[in-house]
Structure formats: C-alpha cells, structure tokens
Chains A and B, each alone.
Chain A
Amino acid sequence: MEFVIIGGDAAGMSAASRAKRKNPKIKVSVLEQTSDVSYSA
C-alpha cells in the first residue's frame, strides 16, 4: 500500500512515523515543500 502525506510538520510527520511503526510494510512518502520538517513553532 502507498500512503502519501502532503506536509512534513506536526500532523504529517506524526502520521508518517505512526503508520510506519504500526505496519512497516506500508510505503510511506512525505512531500514537504520547504526544507524543514517536524518543528514546533
């Protein structure tokens, strides 16, 4: 299964990490428009 996430901040990276942890077989891709991910403002 291909799980695609648009956006690599709080919600996007939480989802990506969780999906991969729950089922390592799923292909998880994150498309982030900036160079920064997972920050807290």
Chain B
Amino acid sequence: MIVRQAHVFREKQGIDLKTEHCVEAIDPAAKIVEGRTHEGKKFQMPYDKLLLATGSSAIVPGLPGFDLPGVMPLKTLEHGRRIKHFIRDQHVKKTVIIGMGYIALEMCEALHARNIAVEMIKPRPNFLPWMNEKLAGMIQKEIEAHAITLHLGREVKQIEKSKEGLRVICPNLELEAQMVLVAMGVTPNSQLAEEAGLELGPNKAIAVDRGLLTSSPDIYAAGDCADAFHVVTGQRTWIPLALRANRAGWAAADNVTGKETTLEGVAGTAVFKVLGLEVSRTGLSMTEAEKYGFNPMEIMIESRTRAHRHPGSSFIGVQMVGDRKSGRLIGAQMVGKEGAAHRINAVAVALHAGMSVEAFSQMDLSYAPPFGPTWDPLLTAANQLLKSM
C-alpha cells in the first residue's frame, strides 16, 4: 500500500528526496554521511541534524537453498511485487511458509484466498508461544479447519530444487512446494549506527531516549531501527510497529525543528486478522511478566461478541494478566470472530494510565445488544481476574 508517491514529496512538499541512494557510512565527528547511488556514483552529504530511519529487514537464514528462485521473504513492497509476479508466472498452486508469526499468518490467509494450498512450518513446538494456550488453540483450529497444515517443532535444514519446484527438508519431514515464503521475523537495520559507534539496545536496535535522540548528540533514530520504552516495564524494548514509527518520526522532526517533544513509549498493542478470526494483544504475556519480575496472575474467560440472543453473536475469548504485588493490570489478549481488534484499545489506555485491575473493573464501558453483552467481555475478565488475585 503506497501512501504517497515520491513526486508529491519532491514537488509539493519541497523535500529533497533521493531514491536509489545507499548510505554506507556516517561520520558523527565531521557530521557527514557518505554512500553510493545505484549507478555506483559516490556521494557525500553534510548534516546539522541526522535522523536514522533505516527500518528492519526480514531474517533469512544462511542455510543451503534459501537463495533459490521461488524462496522469498516478505518485508518490502518489492518483495510483495516479486511474490505476486512469481505466483502469476509460475501458476503457483502449492506453497510452504516458514514461520508462524503474524506476517506468516497474514500471508497464509492471502494465499488461501487465492486458492493456493499452504503448509506452515516452524522450529519451536508451541504455536504463538506468547499467547494463552487456549486462545492459541482456537486460532490453530481455525487455520486447520481451512485445510492448512501446521508443522510445529520442525526445523528446516535446507531447501532443494525438485520436480515440483522446491523441496523443504527437515529431519524426518520433506515438503514439496512451488514457492517458499520466509517469514521468520525481522531484525533492526542498525549496522550503520553500530559502525558509527552509537549505542544499541534490545535486539540490537538503536538505543534512543524519550526524545528519539541516540547516544550521539545530533543523531536521532526512529521507526523499526530504534528501540522504545515499554509503558508497563519502564524498560527498553523493541516492538517494531507502524504507529510507533510514524509517531517517532513526528517527534524527531519536532525536536529537530525546535519544539521539544518526548514520547511515553509503547504498550506492545498489536492486532491481526487470520481467516475468520481477529486476534489482539497489549501489554505483557505471562512469560514476559515473569521475566520482568512481576508476580503475575492470568485468567481466560469466554464471552459473546453480541448480546445473548442477538443474531450473529459469536464467541470471544479474553485473557487478562494482573500483578499480584501491585494489583496493576499488565496485559490482555483476545480472539474472536469480531470485536477483538478494537476492544483491545481500552486495555492499552489502561496500561498507559497504570490502572489497577480493580480500577479497570469499574470502567463504564458501552453496551447495546449488537455490540456485546451488558458486561463487556473485558469487564467480565477484569472481574474474574480480581477475584483470583
């Protein structure tokens, strides 16, 4: 999805946008960046203020066969084009997706919608390991109900050319496909920053303060390449998502143009759709909560997306986590046919406000039969969690 074309930035907004310009080094002492154009022409550019917005890249392992034609990552617009053309030109009817994160699941849905058979494979045994097991199980069931096979706990060792196209090889398992999508996660593009001596944070993302400034006085970083503070833990984290990237870009620009701005941080709020289900989360999972020294308690409740007898009413599952030490609400997850995606925002706001589970259980949330039961599923979850804490 292209938001705005290059010529609009150049002609209407007066931005000197140079595409096909690859920066190869930053000299923070001389305040110069240098690099090469696609034609191989060297360039240098002096700066007063610099913003690193280098993004992230798809992780592609250096195993045999991952460079074969038809084995493709999905991160950039160009990757999307390549996949689309490959499907068309090779009449792809059968694919393997390596990875089962949300990009992998969104791809699985997109391919299924084009009547392309999908098998998914990942090395670890748990499907969506950050998710409450029952909720993860619902998503797994939904996927398998669409004739998509999930191979869990299978580590791909190599990919070979075969008669059908490609053969994905694991110990005791071989899968045939015409196309293999690599959706094994992303890593921050922080190499330029690291080489320039800038400090790095979690996952080797560029460490920035609340004003997006790096460890170097005139260099800012924003977007997928930079870290952020987590509003629940107060610690640095790396959760590269679009809203944070846009917001951090704005804040960096404000600081550069003289309006001092700081950002509170991220709560890890995320949503995705897979086949007939909406999936959402915010805050910490149980495992994360334990890792950060909370004394977490988790509940999972089942509720309805509309009032009891209302036509179209369906199931919604809500997981909620509270900290027994402080009473604080620290996370939630939801799965449902509808009403799971936007409902999570109420919890995100509560996390930013540092609310307790008890305070959240008192919130005056909306009700009308087409939108939920009298007690919103989030309130039912908060009530249950409060009892068990």
Contacts and interface: CB of A to CB of B under 8 A. Distances in A.
Interface in A1-41: 1-24, 26-41
B17 A32 contact: yes
Contact of B13 (A17, A23, A29, A40): A17
A33 B9 contact: no
Nearest to A28: B15
B3 interface: yes
Interface of B is mostly: mixed
Contacts of B23: 6, 31, 33
Contact of B78 (A13, A18, A36): A36
Contact of B257 (A6, A9, A22): A22
Interface residues of B, number: 59
A12 B257 contact: no
Given A3-B49, A6-B53, A40-B242, A31 B18 contact: yes
A8 B52 CA distance: 10
A39 to B, nearest CB: 5
A7 B18 CA distance: 10
Interface string B242-274: 100111111011101111000000000000000
Interface of A is mostly: mixed
B39 interface: no
A38 B4 contact: yes
Contact of A33 (B21, B33, B47, B223): B21
Contacts of A37: 4-6, 9, 17, 19
Contacts of B80: 41
27 contacts: A2-B46, A3-B49, A3-B51, A3-B253, A5-B53, A6-B33, A6-B54, A10-B223, A10-B245, A11-B51, A11-B248, A11-B249, A17-B15, A18-B253, A19-B257, A23-B257, A28-B15, A29-B15, A29-B17, A29-B45, A30-B16, A32-B17, A34-B78, A38-B2, A38-B9, A39-B77, A40-B1
Interface of A: 1-24, 26-41
Given A29-B15, A29-B17, 14 more contacts: A2-B48, A8-B53, A9-B223, A10-B53, A12-B53, A15-B252, A17-B13, A20-B13, A29-B18, A29-B45, A34-B76, A37-B9, A38-B9, A41-B74
The 9 closest A-B CB pairs, nearest first, are A11-B223, A14-B249, A12-B53, A7-B53, A18-B253, A15-B249, A4-B47, A11-B53, A11-B249
